[in-house]
Structure 1
Amino acid sequence: MDELFREACHALPPVALAARPEPAALARQVFEAHCHDDDGIVHGLIEKLAESLGPTGLAALRQLFEQLAQQPAAVPPQQEQSRFWTAQSGLRAVAEAMGDVDGYIAQYGERQRRVPRIAAGIAQRLLKVGRAEEALRFLQEGSPERSPWPVLDWEDAQIAALEALGRTDEAQAARWHWFEQTLMETYLRDYLQQLPAFEDGEAEQRAIDFVAARPDLFEALSFLLEWPTGLNRAAQVIVQRHGELNGAHDGLFDAAAERLSADHPLAATLALRCMVDFALTNGCTCQCGAAAGHLHTCQQLSSRISDWGEIPPHEAYLAAIRSTHARKRGFWSKARPLGL
């Protein structure tokens, strides 16, 4: 039922425009809907109907929310807090619809403005109206430096503000910093695009070196397997750090084996083996078929590997798991038909 109401709200704007309701009456209806929207069903309704409300309707709606915020009410504290939040969120939505940035900011207290997510929202709106200095000030006051997790909206707003102020070196430093913190491709791509052509190759290699040295192997491989020039380094990392491979991350290693098998059969083999080892060691009967398939692929890849280095060749590995996991009948019943 909730989804039905949401779809109806989504379809309202063209209907309201065609009906051309009296602005003050529409404002009252929107106000009532907003005030009784306990489940967020009509979230965004003010923005959707802003054109139909027009300046007159939006002004009337703002007045209704201001009256709600100011009226004395002898209600329990929890209900009073809910009433205040309803008025505040309504006034923010009206300010947004009217393009009133200062009105939007006014709905947040000083402590709220120090919350990184809120500071980012304020900064984004200030940037849209060319007030970059103020945007950066709000961001600095709401810095996420004490947060253990990055706040992506804040980071993006910071970079945009620095760029708008012509502080390109600082914007570049921020892009690199946030790339190091998050390993998000977007930051690295934007960073490289801002560099002269003769510098981007060296910077890209520096980024790949940084990622390859990450203590978290899962993070490192997730990035390298997706980055356009990262496959060679992903293969090196798998071979060099094969003792750290954890077959529990089967989605990652399935992708690694698929992408590396053509040019890096040894790395692909190690990716497959770690999933076989995980299934056998943990007695995952539901994975027996997949694990047997991985082992069969290892057998096919082995003919293309001329230098195993310190890695046991396929026959030695097969003999080892036959000895260690001889009683895993479910697995071997799947493996024997494959010639293993």
Structure 2
Amino acid sequence: MRQTIASARGDLDLLIALEAKKQPHMQDYLGIAAQLLEAGRSAEALDWVRKPGRRALGETGSDLSPARVSLEARILEATDERPAAQALRWCCFEATLSADILREHLKQLPDFEDIETEDRAHALALEKAKPEAALQFFLDWPRLDLAAKLIVMHPHRWNGGDWHSLPKAAALLEHDYPLAATILYRALLDDILDRARSKAYRHGAEYLGKLALLAEATDTTRPNEQAGHAAYLAKLKTAHPRKSGFWARVGEGDPAPPQASRSRRPNWDRGDG
């Protein structure tokens, strides 16, 4: 409450004094640093952004978290340390593949040098040890062609349980990059069936429908080690013959169990089982 009053009065020194009395893990280092920067007190801002244990409220990232690096780089530029700011941004990009940090870095480069650096960033992302981070970067940039290339480079890497992002990525790619979309849709469908996620069978049936539509475009260009759609479908039927709730949604199997067994079997369409 005292800090709220200090902020309303524009008393930054009182606000900082009150913040400094808190336990280190409770201090809003980035918030104070940002206010000091806005007030033109760059040297003090740099001290706060670099304090041991620094973090913004709610932030759980490392020292190279994009939010902190973005702020520290702006503070460094305000203190005429532009090379150090750029070096920090690039180091952060290498560690996190943050599209926002790369944009900030490129904005400070001369013409033509930014193009060369962008190409270097793309090459680095393709070689990243964690393709998941690289995929998010290419989607955020956006470079869908490189996202598709990355997916095809690592066909078995994608976690079908990542239903927050993979369906969106597959939908973005399915028109121009059907092979990459096929890899993602298969990963999603395999995860649903392998884990018997009956409440997601509706989505699984949708993914299988998309795979059937994509098959004509992908079966002629797919790598030899990747099964064609007919072989993939046959494998699903062999591996999951008793998942009647799923097959009923795609028009396969017996969609209506006998009346006598209904009390012992789940209602698939209701999402049981």
Classify the TM-score, shorter chain.
Answer: 0.7 to 0.9
The reply on whether 1:266 has 2:185 as its aligned counterpart is: no
Does the CA-based 8 Å contact 1:116-1:144 persist in structure 2? no
Amino acid in the other structure paired with 1:270: I
Cα displacement (A) at 1:140 = 3.0
Which of 179, 192, 205 aligns to 2:106? It is 192
Please, which of 153, 161, 166 is the counterpart of residue 253 of structure 1?
Answer: 166
Show the 5 A alignment for 1:34-73.
Answer: none
The residue correspondences of 1:1-340 to structure 2 (distance < 5 A) are 89-90=1-2, 92-109=3-20, 112=23, 118-142=28-52, 144=54, 149-150=62-63, 154-229=68-143, 231-305=144-218, 306-309=220-223, 310-336=225-251
- Helix, strand or coil: the match of 2:48? helix
CA drift at 1:302: 1.3
Between Structure 1 and Structure 2, the one with more helix by share is 1
Aligned pairs, how many? Answer: 245
Cα distance change of structure 1 residues 102 and 165 upon mapping to structure 2, 3 Å threshold: same
Name structure 1 gaps, 5 residues minimum.
Answer: 1-88
Moved more, 189-198 or 114-123: 114-123
- What does residue 66 of structure 1 align with? none
Mind listing any 5+ residue stretches in structure 2 that lack a counterpart?
Answer: 253-273
**Is 1:116–1:139's contact at 8 Å kept on the other side of the alignment?**
no
Aligned-residue offset at 1:232: 1.3
1:174 to partner: Cα distance: 1.8
1:181 is displaced (CA, Å) by: 3.7
| Fraction of identical pairs, as percent | 34
What SS does the aligned partner of 1:312 have? coil
Which one has a bigger Cα radius of gyration? 1
* Alpha-carbon distance in structure 1 between the residues aligned to 2:205 and 2:176: 23
Q: Structure 1 pair 281/153, CA: closer, same or farther in 2 (3 Å)?
A: closer
Q: Measure how far apart 1:182 and its partner are.
A: 3.6
Which AA in structure 2 matches 1:266?
A: L
Q: Which has the higher contact order (CA 8 A, sep 6+)?
A: 2
CA RMSD of aligned residues (A): 2.5
1:128-149 alpha-carbon deviations (Å, 9 max, x no partner): 222212221333334649x863
In 2, Cα distance between equivalents of 1:176 and 1:200: 12
> 1:127: how far off?
1.8
The answer to whether the 8 A contact 1:117-1:153 is kept is no
What TM-score, normalized to structure 2? 0.79
For the 8 Å contact 2:30–2:54, the answer to whether it is kept is no
Distance 1:331 1:254, change over 3 A: same
Structure 2 CA distance for partners of 1:205 and 1:143, relative to 1, 3 Å: farther
Kept after mapping to 2: 8 A contact 1:276/1:295? yes
Distance in 2, matches of 1:156 and 1:117, equals 19
Rounded to whole Å, the distance in 2 between the matches of 1:290 and 1:265 is 19
Change (3 A) 1:111 1:313: same
- TM-score norm. by structure 1 comes to 0.65
